[in-house]
Structure 1
Amino acid sequence: MPLLEINDLHTHIRLRKGEVRAVDGVSFEVNVGETVGLVGESGSGKTMTGMSVLGLLPTGGYMPRGEILFDGVDLTKLSQSQMRKYRGNDIAMVFQDPMTSLNPVLTIGDQIAETARLHLGMNKTDAEARAIEVLSLVGMPNPKERLTYFPHQLSGGLRQRVMIAMALTCDPKLLILDEPTTALDVTIQAQILELLEDLKDRLSMAMILVTHDMGVIAGRADNVVVMYAGRVAELAPAKELFQMPYHPYTEALLASIPPLEGAIPERLYSIPGLPPDLSTDLVGCRFAPRCRYVQDRCRVEEPPFETPDGYPHPFTCFYPVSAPDRIPVKIVRRDQALSKTGREAIIELDHVVKEYPVTKGALVQRKIGTVKAVTDVSFSVYRGETFGIVGESGCGKTTTGSMIVGLEDVTDGDIRFKGKSIIKDGGHYLKSVRRDLQLMFQDPYASLDPRMRVKDILSEPLTIHRMGTQRERDVTVARLLREVGLSPTAADRYPHEFSGGQRQRIGLARALALQPDVIVADEPVSALDVSIRSQVLNLMKDLQAEHDLTYIIISHDLSVVRFMADRIAVMYLGKLVEIGTEADIFQRAKHPYTHMLLDVVPEANPEVELAKEHGTVRGEIPSAITPPSGCRFRTRCAYAQDRCAEELPDYTKFGDEHYAACFFPMANAPRFAEAEAVS
């Protein structure tokens, strides 16, 4: 008998006007020790399905039909007091954002111990001992000491470990994980996923993994449930689903992912339109308005969820995808060895340093240290190219971008725009060219003023720079909205009235308002679904060609950087460790840190993911206040020797545009083969 059996589950949410059918007839099973992945776009119902299992519904939420059988008990029939016996004990959940889920005024020790006291009836001493035990279980460094820490004192990866430890306090049989790695760096993500896999095997837990990252699903899920508009579109074993998806929606999701290997497409496939409004009556196939295989029957008749004759797994489609139907891809050719001849350097960084003082004291503050955010970084960006900067959080990539656009002062060194220093003339030149250097922020919701309409947000820079009359500015706003794929009528709406992808388009329109030469895009698609991400990336490429833009893309998503960038700089703990063309970095990487980043990027290929060795990521990132001597990566490097601690490695040239700072560069080898050290 399955541990969890969901049969024809319906979860509705009452609104002032109408009702949202968030989950509309979902059925699947989870067996003991099995991981089931729930994937789909935002609004597909995957998170609401997980919340329904725990009975954690929003205001107005209820389940009019369906069964949720856990160990043979129908959870939908239980009262709230009865559900508390299962919630936290037998079924636990790890929420998406640990910073908002953890209480900021309580220590992590108190928060974990609270679970043990409430559900296990432990006294304070035993609960504290249990907290230390589960923190050790999830690999928390110095667990006894960390009990006294508050959430803000921990990194994102350690906070996520606390959330997992809290969920494991009562040894649950089922663990539900809602986007557990979305906001994490690729290396921390790999550590968390390896930890979860290890815990599942050691504790014989079942897991439901809710995510929009198909790469995460490929390497961790036994079975995959693809959801769309509150229904199951396709259900299959992971390997089977990735090799041959039958539902057009599944195929489109996979085609929207930037590839990490092989040819680079000129454009990513993007699913047209938006998911349907679940508060309206839907007729026919829910994916029909966005499907490239749609027929008249699809618009009037809803396909059943079944396994047709001759097919290995169930799906909801009258006209399933077959191998010859696969979405065609046009390949773009890139120079693999870019030449500086005839190329104009529009941005030049010359031994740039950025340091922040660390002070102590309530009334009289004294300097006790220095955060070495960026140390001796030099590179050039050519006009018209896309330059990528990658690395973990704290590597200095965002600080570097902020210095380029003048939002951060430079401690030492120089930054030149079109050959002139923007920092050595008292800032006069920077003020004159500020309109030519624009920043596209990571979080469009936080960077757009919620009290301003879109037309005011877009016209504000035009007003500040005294460009045009009010009528001319209104015309410019309408043009900008059309250029980023929005209707001019959006000008009268507020930011909260738009989806995440639409807000990112507004952020891009704002960056374009002053017709800049350079746009620094800081994690421009990190918070977006895979389908929306492909739309924004394609849009950025189109606008680059149309306006002759130069992009500096800052990201920890290497697949995005590979798709967009001509050249890539890899940063670690404030230092530039490697720079080269896309092919140099992805096929001929020399620095061990670059190899580590590449090895842990999740790919939408179960065979590749399952072949990867665990333990690729070593240790924690050192403090930028007291970075290691010599090579800063040496404390996490498998190939470090005594020389690495004593000397700072200089850059060695490996190609026309390829440089790496390493005494023992890696051999040219397939990315997933065992690495070799070369002296």
Structure 2
Amino acid sequence: MPLLEINDLHTNIRLRKGEVRAVDGVSFEVNVGQTVGLVGESGSGKTMTGMSILGLLPTGGYISQGQVLYDGVDLAKLSQTEMRRYRGKEIAMVFQDPMTSLNPVLTIGDQISETARLHLGMNKTDAESRAIEVLSLVGMPNPKERLTYFPHQLSGGLRQRVMIAMALTCDPKLLILDEPTTALDVTIQAQILELLEDLKERLSMAMILVTHDMGVIAGRADEVVVMYAGKVAEFATSTELFRAPYHPYTEALLASIPPLEGAIPERLYSIPGLPPDLSTELIGCRFAPRCRYVQDRCRIEEPELDAPDGYSHPFTCFYPVSAPDRIPVSITRRDQAASKTDREAIIEVDHVVKEYPVTKGALVQRKIGTVKAVTDVTFSVYRGETFGIVGESGCGKTTTGSMIVGLEGVTAGDIRFKGKSIVKNGGSHLKSVRRDLQFMFQDPYASLDPRMRVKDILSEPLVIHHLGTQRERDATVARLLREVGLSPSAADRYPHEFSGGQRQRIGLARALALQPEVIVADEPVSALDVSIRSQVLNLMKDLQQQHNLTYIIISHDLSVVRFMADRIAVMYLGRLVELGTEADIFQRAKHPYTHMLLDAVPEANPEVEKAKEHGTVRGEIPSAITPPSGCRFRTRCAYAQERCAEESPEYTQYGVEHYAACFFPMAHAPRFAEVEAVG
């Protein structure tokens, strides 16, 4: 008998005007020790399915039909009081954002101990001992000491470990994970996923993994439920799904992912349009308005979930796709061997240092240390290219980008724009070039003023620089909105009225308002669904061609950087450790840290993911206040020797534009096979 059996689940949410059918007839099973993945875009119903299992529905939410059978008990029929016997004790949930899920005014110890006292009846001493035990179980460094910490004192990866520890306090049989690694660096993500896999085996748990990341699903899920508009679009084992997806939606999701190997497509496939409004009556196949293979029958008749003769797993489509390569992509070849002398350096970063003082004291503050955010970084960016900067959080990549556009001052060194220093020539020169250097922020919702309409947000730079009349500014706003794929009518709306992808388009439009020459984009697609991400990346490439833009892309997502960047700089703890072309970094990487980053990237290929050696990601990034002596990566490097602790390695050249700072570089062994580009 399955541990969890969901039969024809319908979950509705009452609104002032009508109801949203958030989950519409979903059925699947979870067995002991099994991981089932729920995957789909935002609004597909995957998170609401998880919430329905635990009875944690939003205001107005209720299960209108169906069963949620846990160990033979229908949870859908239980009262909230009865559900408390199961919630947290038998079934636990790890939420997407630990910072908003953890209580900011309670210590980590208090929050974990509370679970033990409520569900297990432990006294304070025993509950504290249990808290230390589960923190040790999830690999928390110094667990006893961390009990006294507040959530804000921990990194994102450690906060997520606290959430997992809290969920494991009562030894649940089923663990529901809602986007557990979305906001984490690729290395921390790999550690968390390895931890969860290890815990599942050790504790014989079942897991439901909710995510939009197909790479995470490929490596961790035994079976996959692909959801679209509240319904199951396809259901299969992970091996079957990635080898031969039948539903056009599944195929499109896979085609939207920037590849980590092989030839680089000129454009990513992007699913047109948006998911349907689930508060309206829907006729026919729900994916029909966005499907490239749609036929007349799809618009009037809704397909059932079924596995016809000759097909290995069920799906909901009248015209299934037969192979994962049905969507054509055009391939581009980059001129990786072009000489430096053939190109003009538009940005020059010359031995730049950025340090922040650390102070202590309420009234009289005294300096107690220095945060070494960026240390002796040098590189050039050529006109018209896309330059990628990658690394974990805390490596100094965002600080470097902020210094380039003048949002942060420089402690030492120089930054030149078109040969002229923006550091040594004072504020007047920086103001004169401000129009040409623009920043695209990571979180468009936080960077767009919620009290201003879009037309005011986009015209504000024009007003500040005294450009154009009011009529000309209105025309510029309309043009910018059309260029980023939005209707000019959007000018009268506020930021909260847009989706995440649309807000990112508005942020890009604002960066383009002054017709800059350089745009620094900080994690431009990190918070977006895979389908929306491909739309934004394609748009950025189109605008680069139209406006002859130079991009500096800051990201921890190496697949995005590979798709966008001509050259890539790898940063670690404030230092530049490797620099090279896309082929240098992805096929001929020399620095062990670069290899660690590449190995940590989840790939949408179950065979590759399951063959990966666990434990390749070691430890966490050290403090920038007291960085390790010598090579800063040595404390996490499997190849470190005594010399690494005593000396800081100089750069060694390995190719025309390939440099790495390592005493013991990795042997030349391409990570991926060389693939000849076609077309």
- Residue in structure 1 matched with residue 24 of structure 2 by the alignment: 24
State the secondary structure of the residue aligned to 2:268: coil
The Cα of 1:325 is off from its aligned counterpart by 6.7
Rounded Cα–Cα distance in structure 1 between residues aligned with 2:310 and 2:479 = 51
- Residue in structure 2 matched with residue 344 of structure 1 by the alignment: 344
- Residue in structure 2 matched with residue 587 of structure 1 by the alignment: 587
- Residue in structure 1 matched with residue 596 of structure 2 by the alignment: 596
- Residue in structure 2 matched with residue 671 of structure 1 by the alignment: 671
Letter in 2 for 1:80: Q
The Cα of 1:60 is off from its aligned counterpart by 0.3
- Residue in structure 2 matched with residue 57 of structure 1 by the alignment: 57
- Residue in structure 2 matched with residue 367 of structure 1 by the alignment: 367
- Residue in structure 2 matched with residue 640 of structure 1 by the alignment: 640
Rounded Cα–Cα distance in structure 1 between residues aligned with 2:672 and 2:588 = 13
Letter in 2 for 1:363: L
- Residue in structure 2 matched with residue 304 of structure 1 by the alignment: 304
Letter in 1 for 2:58: P
Rounded Cα–Cα distance in structure 2 between residues aligned with 1:275 and 1:323 = 24
State the secondary structure of the residue aligned to 2:52: helix
Rounded Cα–Cα distance in structure 2 between residues aligned with 1:446 and 1:618 = 33
Contact 2:243–2:324 (CA<8 Å) still a contact in 1? no
- Residue in structure 2 matched with residue 155 of structure 1 by the alignment: 155
Rounded Cα–Cα distance in structure 2 between residues aligned with 1:151 and 1:78 = 33
Letter in 1 for 2:186: V
Contact 2:523–2:554 (CA<8 Å) still a contact in 1? yes
Post-superposition Cα deviations, 1:621-671, rounded to whole Å, max 9, x if no partner, equal 111001011100001001111111111100000000000000110011243
Rounded Cα–Cα distance in structure 1 between residues aligned with 2:58 and 2:342 = 60
- Residue in structure 2 matched with residue 193 of structure 1 by the alignment: 193
Rounded Cα–Cα distance in structure 1 between residues aligned with 2:279 and 2:539 = 30
Rounded Cα–Cα distance in structure 1 between residues aligned with 2:110 and 2:201 = 28
- Residue in structure 2 matched with residue 531 of structure 1 by the alignment: 531
- Residue in structure 1 matched with residue 107 of structure 2 by the alignment: 107
State the secondary structure of the residue aligned to 1:323: coil
- Residue in structure 1 matched with residue 356 of structure 2 by the alignment: 356
- Residue in structure 1 matched with residue 563 of structure 2 by the alignment: 563
Matches for 1:323-342 after TM superposition, within 5 Å:
323=323, 326-342=326-342
- Residue in structure 2 matched with residue 677 of structure 1 by the alignment: none
- Could you tell me which runs of 5 or more consecutive residues in structure 1 were left unpaired when the two chains were aligned: 674-679
> Cα distance 1:62–1:324, how it changes in 2: closer, same or farther (>3 A)?
closer
Contact 2:245–2:323 (CA<8 Å) still a contact in 1? no
Rounded Cα–Cα distance in structure 1 between residues aligned with 2:267 and 2:176 = 35
Rounded Cα–Cα distance in structure 2 between residues aligned with 1:482 and 1:46 = 33
Matches for 1:96-135 after TM superposition, within 5 Å:
96-135=96-135
Letter in 2 for 1:150: F
Letter in 2 for 1:510: R
The Cα of 1:503 is off from its aligned counterpart by 0.2
Matches for 1:114-263 after TM superposition, within 5 Å:
114-263=114-263
Contact 2:523–2:553 (CA<8 Å) still a contact in 1? yes
Decide which moves more: 360-369 or 331-340. 331-340
Contact 1:581–1:658 (CA<8 Å) still a contact in 2? yes
The Cα of 1:53 is off from its aligned counterpart by 0.1
Letter in 2 for 1:413: G
Rounded Cα–Cα distance in structure 2 between residues aligned with 1:324 and 1:460 = 46
Post-superposition Cα deviations, 1:125-174, rounded to whole Å, max 9, x if no partner, equal 00000000000000000100100000011000000000000000000000
Question: Structure 1 runs of 4+ off > 6 angstroms?
Answer: none
- Residue in structure 2 matched with residue 421 of structure 1 by the alignment: 421
- Residue in structure 1 matched with residue 471 of structure 2 by the alignment: 471
Letter in 1 for 2:615: G
Rounded Cα–Cα distance in structure 1 between residues aligned with 2:345 and 2:184 = 33
Rounded Cα–Cα distance in structure 1 between residues aligned with 2:60 and 2:67 = 19
The Cα of 1:341 is off from its aligned counterpart by 2.1
The two structures have a TM-score, normalised by structure 2, of: 0.99
Contact 2:373–2:395 (CA<8 Å) still a contact in 1? yes
For this pair of structures, how many residues does the alignment match? 673
The Cα of 1:427 is off from its aligned counterpart by 2.0
The Cα of 1:322 is off from its aligned counterpart by 1.1
Rounded Cα–Cα distance in structure 2 between residues aligned with 1:660 and 1:445 = 37
The Cα of 1:338 is off from its aligned counterpart by 2.9
State the secondary structure of the residue aligned to 1:481: helix
How many percent identity over aligned positions?
90
Rounded Cα–Cα distance in structure 1 between residues aligned with 2:672 and 2:298 = 43
The Cα of 1:279 is off from its aligned counterpart by 0.3
Post-superposition Cα deviations, 1:66-89, rounded to whole Å, max 9, x if no partner, equal 000000100011011100000000
The Cα of 1:672 is off from its aligned counterpart by 8.1
Rounded Cα–Cα distance in structure 2 between residues aligned with 1:404 and 1:591 = 25
Letter in 2 for 1:350: D
> Cα distance 1:170–1:139, how it changes in 2: closer, same or farther (>3 A)?
same
Rounded Cα–Cα distance in structure 2 between residues aligned with 1:326 and 1:259 = 16
- Residue in structure 1 matched with residue 624 of structure 2 by the alignment: 624
- Residue in structure 1 matched with residue 288 of structure 2 by the alignment: 288
State the secondary structure of the residue aligned to 1:351: strand
The Cα of 1:339 is off from its aligned counterpart by 1.3
The Cα of 1:27 is off from its aligned counterpart by 0.4
State the secondary structure of the residue aligned to 2:69: strand
Rounded Cα–Cα distance in structure 2 between residues aligned with 1:474 and 1:325 = 44
Contact 2:586–2:672 (CA<8 Å) still a contact in 1? no
State the secondary structure of the residue aligned to 1:196: helix
Contact 1:229–1:276 (CA<8 Å) still a contact in 2? yes
- Residue in structure 2 matched with residue 81 of structure 1 by the alignment: 81
- Residue in structure 2 matched with residue 676 of structure 1 by the alignment: none
Letter in 1 for 2:222: D
- Residue in structure 1 matched with residue 676 of structure 2 by the alignment: none
State the secondary structure of the residue aligned to 1:341: helix
Letter in 1 for 2:30: V
The two structures have a TM-score, normalised by structure 1, of: 0.99
Contact 2:261–2:672 (CA<8 Å) still a contact in 1? no
Rounded Cα–Cα distance in structure 2 between residues aligned with 1:218 and 1:423 = 47
Rounded Cα–Cα distance in structure 1 between residues aligned with 2:342 and 2:430 = 26
The Cα of 1:308 is off from its aligned counterpart by 0.9
The Cα of 1:324 is off from its aligned counterpart by 8.4
Decide which moves more: 303-312 or 498-507. 303-312
Contact 1:599–1:672 (CA<8 Å) still a contact in 2? no
Contact 1:185–1:393 (CA<8 Å) still a contact in 2? yes
Rounded Cα–Cα distance in structure 2 between residues aligned with 1:200 and 1:637 = 28
RMSD of equivalent CA atoms = 0.8
> Cα distance 1:664–1:205, how it changes in 2: closer, same or farther (>3 A)?
same
> Cα distance 1:171–1:449, how it changes in 2: closer, same or farther (>3 A)?
same
- Residue in structure 1 matched with residue 677 of structure 2 by the alignment: none
Contact 2:41–2:531 (CA<8 Å) still a contact in 1? yes
